[in-house]
Amino acid sequence: SNEQGPELLTIMGIASFFVCMALMMNAILQASGNEKYPIYSMIAGGIVKIAVNWVLVGNPEINIVGAPIGTLCCYAVMCIMNFAFMCRCLPKKPSLGRILIRPAIACAAMGLSAWAVYGLGYRFLGEGRLYMAVAMLAAIAVAVVVYFVMVVAMRAITYEDMKLIPKGEKLAKLLHIK
C-alpha cells in the first residue's frame, strides 16, 4: 500500500543474500570451534546498522528507505568479517569462486530460465488463474532442473558436499562428481 514498498523490498531482497551468507559463515565458524568470531561480527554489524539507520532514517529525503539500507550494510559487514575470520582460522582458505561465483552463475541461469518459461507460458496460455498457476509451476520445474544441471556442470558441488546428504555418495558417482 505504501508507494515506497517495492523499493524497500528490493533492498531487502539484496540484503537477504548477505543474511543467508552470514548465517552459513556463522555456522561454519561455530562448527570449527571458533564460536567467538560470529559474535564479534554480529556486534560490529549491529553497530553499523544502528549508525546507518541513525543517519539515513533521520534524513527526511531518505527516511524509511534507510532502514533496509542499514540492514544491507549490517549483514555485508558481517559477511566480510566472517570471511576474514574463516581465512584466518580454517586450515583451508575458502575459495570465493567455488562458494560465490559458480553458484551465482547457476542462480542467474535459473532465474533467467524461470522468467523465460513463465513469460512464454503467460503469453501462450493466457491470463486466467489456472493458466498463470500452470505457467508458474512450469517455470519452477524448469528452474530446478536448470539449477541442478548448472551446479553439476560447473562443479559448484563437490563429492565432499554430496557425502553430506543421504545417498549422496551414490548420486555423486552417478553424476560423475569428484
Q: Indicate the helix (H) or strand (E) that contains 50.
A: helix 36-57
Instruction: Give pLDDT tens digits for 48-93.
Output: 999 999 999 999 999 999 999 999 999 999 999 999 999 999 988 8
Q: How far is Cα of residue 150 from the mean position of the Cα atoms in its chain?
A: 16
Tell which residue, 43, 37, 15, has the closest CA to residue 25.
37
- Rounded CA-CA distance 174/177 in Å is 8
Q: How far apart are CA 41 and CA 86, in angstroms?
A: 12
Residue 1: is its pLDDT beyond 70?
Answer: no
At 95 the pLDDT is 80
Claim: this prediction has a pTM higher than 0.75: no
* Distances in whole angstroms, Cα of residue 102 to Cα of each of 14, 44, 68, 95, 98: 18, 29, 27, 11, 6
What's the pLDDT band for 147 if we cut at 50, 70, 90?
very high
